[in-house]
Amino acid sequence: MAFNAKVRDIQEILKARGYTLGASGPNKDGVDGDAGDRTYDAILLELRKAEEAKFAPPAQPLQPKAPEAVVAAGQTKAQQAIDLALLKLAFPANNELELSKWVEPTRAACIRWGIDTVREVASFLANINVESAGLTRLTENLNYSVQGLLKTFVRHRISEADARRFGRSPHHPANQEALANILYGGDWGRRNLGNTETGDGWRFRGYGPKQITGRANQTLFGQAMGLTVDQVPDYVRTPEGGMMSAGWFWKSHNLDVPAATPGIEDDRRAINGGLLGVREVQARFDVLIKELLRREQA
């Protein structure tokens, strides 16, 4: 079948939602502009989800609460095990003083979003560790080199001329604002991220431990928390907001399902869109699951 740009755009969306489309295409991720069986299967599943959502009860907006108020509710043993010692195992690159600020917000987010089994808590923390560089990076870093841009993104996302103009080189630093508006703007940003206004790419770049990106995603998270979209970037860079946004992503992408299966690769694909960092996630997961099981059996 001939290449179809519209099919490619649909595949980009499906990939961003965690679907595995194969190993074809320039980036070996199934995004090739050719609608094969995996693409059709993913589209059918999305249509079924949309139909089921018509009959689901409307979600009730949740006003931000102090973490202690949420934690006062019932907890599973896995949630009760979230303490400073566990976070030190989860985020070894961070320091004890900083991690102490994240204990209650982490437990509160796991309770709020139903991250309640040993495997779920271990996967959640292990993936966040990689996504946020151990809770040290809460704003997306777009400090791409020219070659990094050319290798990471296809040419309909950024032209070679713009990559050389705005990417980091021996002659100039990266223009991160320009890169965000190019990479997350235009038709691609409008369709995939809901970035409809000039400057939305930079304004709604990735924030929080999970790097929630785009006007549409940050609007949805804001609605879940009773916030306006303009309040979201600052909120998700706090321990409470950051963990709530990571938990919201987990719940909204139904990550309980892959977390319940053996192995960590399907969890990683659903969170990252691929297997980048999977070895580090697996190593951290193994440490956490061992400790959580030890505590559960004590």
| pLDDT surpassing 90 at residue 53 | no
pLDDT in tens, 166-192: 999 999 999 999 999 999 999 999 999
Counting residues of the chain whose pLDDT is more than 70, the rounded percentage is 88
pLDDT in tens, 89-119: 999 999 999 999 999 999 999 999 999 999 9
Q: What is the mean pLDDT of the chain?
A: 86
pLDDT in tens, 218-254: 999 999 999 999 999 999 999 999 999 999 999 999 8
> Cβ distance 186 to 154 under 8 Å?
no
Q: Confidence class of residue 51 from pLDDT cuts 50, 70 and 90? A: low
Cα dihedral 280, 281, 286, 291 sign: positive
* pLDDT at residue 67 in the model: 44
Burial 150-171 (b: 16+ CB within 10 A, else e): beebeeebbeeebbebbbbeee
Tokens of 8: 């490619």
What's the distance, Cα to Cα, between the start and end of the chain in Å?
Answer: 59
What is the pLDDT averaged over residues 40-57? 63
Domain at 68-138+218-297, CATH class: mainly alpha
Tokens of 219: 């609007």
Domain boundaries, the chain: 5-54, 68-138+218-297, 146-205
